[in-house]
Amino acid sequence: MDATLLFPLPEGMLIEDVQVTETSLSLTVRATHPTSCCPLCSQASSSIHSHYQRTLSDASCVGRQVQLSLTVRRFYCRNRLCERKVFTERLPRFVQPWARMTIRLSQHLQAVGLATSGRGGIKLAVRLGMQTSRQTLLRRIMELPDLPEESVLYLGIDDFSLWRGQRFGTILVNLETHHIVDLLPDRRAETAATWMQQRPDIMAVSRDRGVEYAKAAADGAPQAINVADRFHVVKNLTEALQLLLARCQEEIKAASQTPEPCQDEQSKQVVSLEEWRPPEPAHVEKARLARRAGRYARYQQVVELQEGGMKPKEIAQRMGIAQRTIRRWLASGTFPEARKRRKRQSSFEVFAPYVLSRWKAGERNGLALWREIKEQGYTGTGRTVYRYLETLKQAEVKASANPQRLQKFSANTAIWLFVRDPESLDEMEQKDLAAFCQASITLKKAYDLVQDFLSMVHKREGHRLETWLEQVTSSNLSELQSFATGVERDKAAVQAGLTWWINNGVVEGLVTKVKLIKRQMYGRASFALLRQRVLHAL
Ligand SMILES: [Zn+2]
């Protein structure tokens, strides 16, 4: 039987000998094609000058490593006009002139490298009968040529963290095909602009609200319409609203406080020990709100895709979110809140019941209470004690402002009453919202404006933006006014974002994919390697 049926070789190559061990297969192979073409003048020649041997690694054979001992020939070039007198035989689709492995083995290693890019890749390759090293695996990936450039009409651009939120890269996405078309090593305007200049086809650029990408689009694709991503716009509006809410809550609180503190024991609602939690610092609260806005945007995107008839599995792939998460979100039917952070165990915990009982007995002096529990063995700082007393004090204020339910809200929990679709609020939430709007005319006004804006977003009614901005300008809501000022600066793009179908939801999903690939790579792998892996990812 012809051995090349089981182990295919290019036409004209003959297996002369086979040596088999448990882990390896050594083949002696000879090239027999009567002629070969000169690489310089392409003329065929049959005049053999000499023979020589090449040793090559080849693709594995049923898990065995394969070595080829290949006899190839040198030919004379008989073309008198050709400068080359002697040339070596070429096997263009099988092995490159100076390579030590065949093209097909190289391709197998590339596939393993792209799929793993980690230490696991070497183990896997060896298991499959391909001896390799980390360097080889990485080199194979780096050798991959850039993919043929696809024409991009609708470009999505965003940044992503390259290194611990300190270094950023740029991701460029074809919004029609949902392909990542390129990664750039930074997020500077010039870099992105240069990239865009190479692609005069770009008709629209969907971007965040930052100045860098706006500048990039203006310089690199002046022909394109700018589209400010509407989720980013909503996020900015939400942030403005949060500031306004915080201000109004202070006002409501101040107005509802009676001049004489009520000493009635019943009105002194006191927080339970389980609920006790030191208040969150402002910057932590802000970061959490931002994360939440991001989650909310993704959630909305998931719902939109489902409504468009997409299956959870496809949505998961598209968005780069686990399928289980998608199913959970869709099953819950409402925006899924992140789980609350767990309270850190503190050494104060054991002493809290004692301090609480002393507080109830009328002790208000933090220093005195701290001293008392220190005698009982408390080793922590006074700060925890003071913060606890602060919480108790607030609980009293809340109690005195009863039956107003409003105080139980912080600005960032109340905000979700304001930005959610009123239809999706349950009865209790509707009551809470009504109470807010009754308590403050400012809040009522803000609520109407915000809901109007959101309906503009959902119904893609960008043509109403101008009127909306005028209403905000003539209101006395300074927080929304500064949001409006920001919109004015970038109005055409925001209007386009409120009108066009395109948005950056897909881009955010793909950023997640890039992060996933980055995490699988060797330590702090280079940007160039990351780019190769992402662009050639299956
Ligand atoms: Zn020649």
SS3 of 159-175: EEEEECCCEEEEEEEEC
**Contact (Cβ atoms closer than 8 angstroms) between residue 141 and residue 529:** yes
Neighbours of ion ligand 1 (CB under 5 A): 38, 40-41, 77, 79, 82, 84
Q: How far is it, in rounded angstroms, from Cα 241 to Cα 293?
A: 13
Q: Is the dihedral of CA 294, 298, 303, 307 positive or negative?
A: positive
For 52, phi and psi rounded to 5 degrees?
Answer: -155, 165
Residues 496 and 225: beta-carbon distance below 8 Å = yes
pLDDT of the residue at 155 = 95
- Helical spans, DSSP H, in 361-426: 366-375, 382-400, 411-419
How many Cβ atoms from other residues are within 10 Å of residue 118's Cβ? Answer: 18
**What integer pLDDT is reported at residue 339 of this predicted model?**
60
Per-residue pLDDT at 29: 93
Gyration radius (Cα) of the chain, Å: 34
Question: How many whole angstroms from 394 Cα to the centroid of ligand 1?
Answer: 93
Stretches where the chain sits below pLDDT 70 are 1, 117-119, 255-283, 336-345, 394-408, 411-412, 522-525, 538
Residue 85 Cα to ligand 1 middle (Å): 7
To 10 degrees, what angle do helices 505-520 and 527-536 make? 120
d(CA 245, CA 411): 6
pLDDT at res. 44: 92
Distance (Å, rounded) from C-alpha 492 to C-alpha 226? Answer: 7
352-405 pLDDT, tens digit per residue, is 878 888 887 778 888 888 888 888 888 888 888 888 888 777 666 444 333 356
Distance 38 CA to ligand 1 centre (A): 5
Dist. CA 477 → ligand 1 center (Å): 82
Describe the crossing of helices 366-375 and 352-360 by its angle, rounded to 10 degrees.
Answer: 140
In the block, residue with structure tokens 């239809």: 423
Place of tokens 């939430």: 429
- Let me know: does 358 contact 366? Beta carbons within 8 Å: no
Q: Which residues contact 61 (CB under 8 A, 6 or more apart)?
A: 6, 7, 25, 129
What is this structure's pTM? 0.60
